[in-house]
Amino acid sequence: MKKSILQGLERVNELNYQAHEKQRLSLDRTLPVAIVVAVNKKAQGPSIKAINDSIENFIVNIKEYKKIKHNLELALYQFY
């Protein structure tokens, strides 16, 4: 193979490696957060509203932190 083709292939391999490393590093900084909400069947009105307001407030506050919000993996589990 010509030298320029080999150099081109080496450069492609290097760029692929760098992209893979960048992706791996971003995954390493993932912040998993789980919100578990367990209420009984009698919970209604004000108590449910308070729970919803608290979750919404948490999400709104997290959005203010640009570094965190891009790596945040949020799960909401609801049980009755």
pLDDT at position 1? 53
- pLDDT tens for 18-29 read 888 777 666 667
**pLDDT score, position 18:** 83
Q: Return the half-sphere exposure (C-beta side, CA atoms, 13 A cut-off) of residue 21.
A: 6
Distances 39 to 10, 52, 58 between C-alpha atoms, Å: 58, 12, 19
| In a shared domain, residues 33 and 64 | no
- Residue 21 lies in domain: 1-39
| Stretch 59-78: mean pLDDT | 80
34 and 48 share a domain? no
Cβ–Cβ under 8 Å, residues 69 and 63: yes
Total count of domains within the chain: 2
d(CA 76, CA 55): 9
Please give the average per-residue pLDDT across 32-48, as a whole number. Answer: 83
Cα–Cα distances in Å, from 59 out to 27, 36, 50?
21, 14, 14
- Same domain assignment for residues 16 and 50: no
Q: What is the pTM of this model?
A: 0.53
